[in-house]
Chains A and B, each alone.
Chain A
Amino acid sequence: MTRRDQDRAVLVREAVADRRRRLPSRPLWALLTLLCSFTPGAAQQTERTGPWPAEVLEAVSRIPVQEGGRVKPLATLARFQLMRLVGTHGCTTPRGERLGPVAWLLDCLCFPEQAQHYAVIRVDDAQVVESLGLSIAGKRRRDRYSYAELLPAFAKLGRQALRFEQTPREQRTALESQVIRLAQVMPQLRDLLHTFDFALEQWSIDRSPALTKLFPGRDRVSFLEVIERFAAVRALLQQGDHEPRLLQIASSLSESMQLGRSLRFLPPVLPGGERYLSATEAIQDGPSGWHRTVLLQIEAALRNRSDLATLGQSLTELQRTLREPAAARTALRAIDGEVAFYRADLFGKALWTFLCGFLSCCILWLRPGSRWLRGASALLATGGAALLVAGIVTRCVLRGRPPVTTPYEVILLVVAVGVLLLLVVELTRRTGVWTSLANPFGALGMWLAVWHETSEGTDTMQQLVAVLDTNFWLATHVTTITLGYCAGTLAALIAHVYLLGKLFGLRRGDPTFYTELSHTIYGVLSFGLVFATVGTILGGVWANDSWGRFWGWDPKENGALMLVLGYVFIAHARMGGYLREHGMAVAAVALGIVVMWAFWGVNLYNVGLHSYGFTETKAAATRWYYAIEWTVVGVALAAGWRRLRRERG
């Protein structure tokens, strides 16, 4: 069975199941779907013979497409689509060829018969596949599956997911959540694989007298040709001409018109239009003028897809065609900039730089006297920070927004400010301790950002909802409160060094080391107190303008207030003499828990006006963080209490 036949078999099973109930009200095309016998389609059976030329990938990357309400390069769409499916930026074909996102997407579009066998669907637990009645022989517990492997269970998957969605989110088992996720990504991939059906479908009509009459002198007709004569085809069907071949073609058309809707690459032709269309949508509207030209161009390109060089040339020409009208509407410079930004991978490089810096710090701990290593560590921390700041600034320029519109951007900003603060402290102290901290902090933060991006698999430059569409409040309230979160995190990190150092006897003979750490914790907390307080009040002022009240006891507002109270408590307890060096370190670790609760934790409650930040995937990690940190607090309190008793005794 070919890919299309398997798809049809599934659709037939679905259709037959509800035929009795829905038959009378279904439109003519659906009726034809049921009546038809599904014989193998006439699509060409072909595979890509060599790797995609680099210049073709480069050209195709820059095609503007619309997704999630914004125009972006095709490369970005491919990147996040693949990330959503497999959780990485690439995939491997059954032949062992490593493909990037754009090459994978091109295969899905131009060689769907081949691409459906790529193992690009990540399944975290093989039980999910087993529960669908499929074999998992030769697969690991967590493995990747191809579309073709999961297709036989497509209908069952949909039914199961529908049932599991009735269960409240917080009560779902891991298995149920995975089934739901799988049921979300499978249709996305199916849609993508069917995007260019209109250009790949060819039907032989030599055994159909009615169609031969309609298309004289032809033995094969294309999808678009049938569409263009559709009025005549419909007239034939309405006359009661139920010739098998005619019915088959009509059924195939009906099926294809339901798919291939996600890739919107056809810019609007009317002035003032904003909505891009997919090929299917354009065909449904009756393709005319410029859209028709583009669709014919794609059809012509794919007719010769066995010749990769010719196909590459055609795709490059297609890119030029598609960018022409887009140039008038959207800034192509931003599209090209985005492609360049993702290609430069500044954040990936920053992660590696911080990791190298951390490595040099580790060696430095073994050879403390090495000035060369100390310099290298400082240089790498500075380099990592420079790459990170460059990336953040580029994103701001591309988006025209402050760098705080998504949780991903907030993580980046927190890491950047944290590293810069540590470098500033190093500048004033010049002890080498702070660059030793900046590197692991940077590496950990960048790993967190990468993990967040891949686990979410959604565009990190997404459009904002109406209430967030204000650069003024984003730049003031969100940025200041983020700096408050950042300072809390950094203070907690330094406090860990203090407490773990004491616990393991690090620099036991150097009390100034711990005093310096303690002073820095206080300094960072003071910085945090300023920004968290001002940020929280500014948030209230914004809420007053947006929602008509300064304070509504919403979970996110309460989280911010909790953070401010945490800072206030530490400041007053220190002034009152209740907290000294050790106590302040313990309090700073506890403040780190408050930061996590205020930033992630309250979003998990999924209530309130800020619940748009909900991320289920982070729930387990957040709970682990709480557990570990409370353990640290408990152990540190016990150690402090013991020391106090010893001092008094």
Chain B
Amino acid sequence: MTRLRRTVRQLVHSTSSYGLTCAIVLLLMGVLYLGTYQQRDLGLATVQARYFFSAFWWWRLGPIHVPLPGALTLLSMLALNLLCGGLLRIRWQARTAGIVIVHLGVLALLGSGLVSHLTGTNGYLKLFPGEQAAEYVSFRDFELVIGEPLGDGGMREFCVPESVLRHGTPAHAPGLPFTVRATRFLDSCVPQRARTADAREVVDGFYLAGTRARSGVPAVPGVYLEIVQAGRTVQRGMLWGRQRAPWTAEIDGSAWSFDLRPQVFDLPFTVRLESFTKETHPGVDTPRKFVSEVTRIAGDVRQNFHIAMNEPMRYGGFMLSQNSWGPQGAARGPYWSMLEVSSNPTDQWPKYACFVVAFGLLLHFGRKLIVYLERQRRRRTA
């Protein structure tokens, strides 16, 4: 028991040192600088994936590739360091109360970031006045949609998320007479006609050429698929995120469609855009106000809302905020309004964490200031 306690104490001691804090913070500053600087050339999405949402990234030093921790690793280490140093190892006294509170607030902030990263979704909803929708489209994530034609002219859809395609996991579902597997997933690519010299994977005379991410140019993914039935590959196909029509394959006498499209999420309510107003300051193009008047329809309940910049609508764990409008450059309406939809279980945590951190900081440094002023007063009187 004593040995275990000693081991735990040593572990807490080593993970709670100021030296580790300083090292993590310096590394985080380095990653932050690189990730910010490279946004000029690579664009935000690529930089996020490489530096901020990654456990490790490779630093290329000529022929040598050095692995360095990404922001995800560093922030996790910081959270551990903070937990051990700022909450467990610290002496809980009146004079350290402020520090403990600050560390609690920062921990809540990091926790909210992790939960939001793992479970949150965000996308958009584009509506002309009078239109309504009960689903929204992801900004970045794609999905494979397998369509089975039904006799009545309808279509049954099976959706395979991007993460499954990315890892090449075989996807199967009840009612699906085959298994789909992504043999290769490309983050950013463009289909090109294959020449005889090309030794790449070619489907119907085309192949997916990988493209380098660039700032201002959205990355369009692509995927090579194989359809397996009874352990045998029956079809091979290739899909691109912006192809005009789905790929159709004949399997067991039915024509199945395969499409790679931005992921669509369901909303537990319907949003109807009643009107959209775009105002500019008089005589110039500087935007002054964008307002979407919407009706939220949940069952039999209809409720009117006003969504503008800095004035979102929150309901049922979803937040709808004013994102954009279009068509851009059009002098007169009707305009469509683009609402950003985000689902984040920790939506309000940062606000509460902010209060906690502010209170803790003021408590700690306020106390220190009072002590300092008192010391000065005593010094002067002495």
Which chain A residues have a beta carbon within 8 Å of chain B's beta carbons?
A: 66-70, 264, 274-276, 428-429, 463, 465-467, 469-470, 473, 523, 526-527, 529-530, 533-534, 537-538, 540-542, 544-555, 558-559, 561-562, 565-566, 568-569, 572-573, 575-578, 602, 605-608
Cβ A537 vs Cβ B353 within 8 A? yes
**A243 vs B341: C-alpha distance in the bound complex, in angstroms?**
66
Residues 326-365 of chain B: 1 if any A CB is under 8 Å from the residue's CB, otherwise 0?
A: 0000000000000011101001001101100110011001
Cβ B310 vs Cβ A562 within 8 A? no
Interface flag for B73 (CB, 8 Å) = no
**A545 vs B29: C-alpha distance in the bound complex, in angstroms?**
27
Count the B residues whose beta carbon is within 8 Å of the partner chain — how many?
65
Cβ A529 vs Cβ B372 within 8 A? no
**A546 vs B309: C-alpha distance in the bound complex, in angstroms?**
6
For this complex, 14 residue pairs linking A to B, each with C-beta atoms less than 8 Å apart, are A68-B286, A275-B282, A463-B288, A466-B289, A466-B290, A526-B365, A534-B361, A537-B354, A541-B350, A548-B312, A552-B44, A554-B44, A576-B18, A576-B19
Query: A68-B286, A576-B17, A607-B44 are contacts. A546–B112 as well, Cβ < 8 Å?
Result: no
User: For residues 353 through 382 of chain B, which have their beta carbon under 8 Å from a beta carbon of chain A?
Assistant: 353-354, 357-358, 361-362, 365, 368-369, 372-373, 376
B290: which A residues are within 8 A, CB to CB?
466
> Per a CB cutoff under 8 Å, which of B310, B369, B373 touches A470?
B310
**A566 vs B280: C-alpha distance in the bound complex, in angstroms?**
40
B288: which A residues are within 8 A, CB to CB?
69, 463, 466, 469
Interface flag for B179 (CB, 8 Å) = no
Cβ B351 vs Cβ A566 within 8 A? no
Interface flag for B189 (CB, 8 Å) = no
Chain B residues touching A, majority SS: helix
A71 to chain B minimum Cβ distance, whole angstroms, is: 9
Interface flag for B39 (CB, 8 Å) = yes
> Per a CB cutoff under 8 Å, which of B25, B35, B39, B372 touches A572?
B25
Query: A549-B342, A607-B44 are contacts. A69–B18 as well, Cβ < 8 Å?
Result: no
Interface flag for B260 (CB, 8 Å) = no
**A134 vs B103: C-alpha distance in the bound complex, in angstroms?**
67
Query: A548-B341, A562-B32 are contacts. A541–B282 as well, Cβ < 8 Å?
Result: no
B24 to chain A minimum Cβ distance, whole angstroms, is: 9
Query: A578-B19, A605-B39 are contacts. A566–B44 as well, Cβ < 8 Å?
Result: no
A483 to chain B minimum Cβ distance, whole angstroms, is: 13
> Per a CB cutoff under 8 Å, which of A276, A467, A552 touches B310?
A467
B127: which A residues are within 8 A, CB to CB?
none
A399 to chain B minimum Cβ distance, whole angstroms, is: 14
A282 to chain B minimum Cβ distance, whole angstroms, is: 13
User: For residues 277 through 334 of chain B, which have their beta carbon under 8 Å from a beta carbon of chain A?
Assistant: 280-284, 286-290, 308-312, 319, 321, 323
B350 to chain A minimum Cβ distance, whole angstroms, is: 5
B163 to chain A minimum Cβ distance, whole angstroms, is: 20
User: For residues 34 through 80 of chain B, which have their beta carbon under 8 Å from a beta carbon of chain A?
Assistant: 35-37, 39-40, 43-44, 47-48, 52
Cβ B312 vs Cβ A602 within 8 A? no
When C-beta atoms are compared, the residue in chain A nearest to B124 turns out to be A548
A314 to chain B minimum Cβ distance, whole angstroms, is: 27
Query: A534-B354, A549-B122 are contacts. A605–B47 as well, Cβ < 8 Å?
Result: no
Query: A69-B280, A548-B341, A553-B44 are contacts. A558–B36 as well, Cβ < 8 Å?
Result: yes
> Per a CB cutoff under 8 Å, which of B19, B21, B39, B373 touches A428?
B373
Interface flag for B116 (CB, 8 Å) = yes
Cβ A428 vs Cβ B18 within 8 A? no
Cβ A578 vs Cβ B22 within 8 A? yes
Cβ B323 vs Cβ A548 within 8 A? yes
A542: which B residues are within 8 A, CB to CB?
310
**A553 vs B139: C-alpha distance in the bound complex, in angstroms?**
16
B215: which A residues are within 8 A, CB to CB?
607
**A559 vs B372: C-alpha distance in the bound complex, in angstroms?**
31
A566: which B residues are within 8 A, CB to CB?
29
B86 to chain A minimum Cβ distance, whole angstroms, is: 10
**A466 vs B358: C-alpha distance in the bound complex, in angstroms?**
28
Query: A428-B373, A541-B354 are contacts. A70–B281 as well, Cβ < 8 Å?
Result: yes
Contacts between chains A and B (CB distance < 8 A), count: 163
> Per a CB cutoff under 8 Å, which of A276, A465, A544 touches B350?
A544
**A264 vs B17: C-alpha distance in the bound complex, in angstroms?**
65
When C-beta atoms are compared, the residue in chain B nearest to A568 turns out to be B25
B61 to chain A minimum Cβ distance, whole angstroms, is: 22
Interface flag for B26 (CB, 8 Å) = yes
When C-beta atoms are compared, the residue in chain B nearest to A540 turns out to be B350
When C-beta atoms are compared, the residue in chain B nearest to A559 turns out to be B36
8 nearest A-B pairs in the assembled complex, by CB-CB distance: A69-B281, A576-B18, A548-B340, A274-B282, A548-B342, A537-B354, A69-B284, A275-B282
**A549 vs B123: C-alpha distance in the bound complex, in angstroms?**
11
B36: which A residues are within 8 A, CB to CB?
553, 555, 558-559, 562, 602, 605
**A553 vs B282: C-alpha distance in the bound complex, in angstroms?**
34
Cβ B116 vs Cβ A550 within 8 A? yes
When C-beta atoms are compared, the residue in chain B nearest to A527 turns out to be B365
Query: A276-B282, A541-B351 are contacts. A534–B357 as well, Cβ < 8 Å?
Result: yes
Cβ A572 vs Cβ B22 within 8 A? yes
Cβ B18 vs Cβ A573 within 8 A? yes
When C-beta atoms are compared, the residue in chain B nearest to A534 turns out to be B358
B29: which A residues are within 8 A, CB to CB?
562, 565-566, 569
**A192 vs B281: C-alpha distance in the bound complex, in angstroms?**
22
Interface flag for B113 (CB, 8 Å) = yes
**A437 vs B11: C-alpha distance in the bound complex, in angstroms?**
47
> Per a CB cutoff under 8 Å, which of A465, A527, A530 touches B287?
A465
Cβ B18 vs Cβ A537 within 8 A? no
Cβ A558 vs Cβ B116 within 8 A? no
A264: which B residues are within 8 A, CB to CB?
283
B19: which A residues are within 8 A, CB to CB?
576, 578
A611 to chain B minimum Cβ distance, whole angstroms, is: 11
Cβ A69 vs Cβ B289 within 8 A? no
Cβ B357 vs Cβ A533 within 8 A? yes
B124 to chain A minimum Cβ distance, whole angstroms, is: 9
B26: which A residues are within 8 A, CB to CB?
569
Cβ A607 vs Cβ B39 within 8 A? yes
Query: A68-B286, A562-B32 are contacts. A569–B25 as well, Cβ < 8 Å?
Result: yes
**A562 vs B22: C-alpha distance in the bound complex, in angstroms?**
13
When C-beta atoms are compared, the residue in chain A nearest to B366 turns out to be A530
**A538 vs B353: C-alpha distance in the bound complex, in angstroms?**
10
Interface flag for B28 (CB, 8 Å) = yes
When C-beta atoms are compared, the residue in chain B nearest to A523 turns out to be B372
Query: A69-B286, A469-B289, A548-B312 are contacts. A562–B354 as well, Cβ < 8 Å?
Result: no
A533: which B residues are within 8 A, CB to CB?
357-358, 361
Cβ A545 vs Cβ B310 within 8 A? yes
> Per a CB cutoff under 8 Å, which of B40, B48, B347, B358 touches A607?
B40
Cβ A578 vs Cβ B18 within 8 A? yes
**A276 vs B283: C-alpha distance in the bound complex, in angstroms?**
8
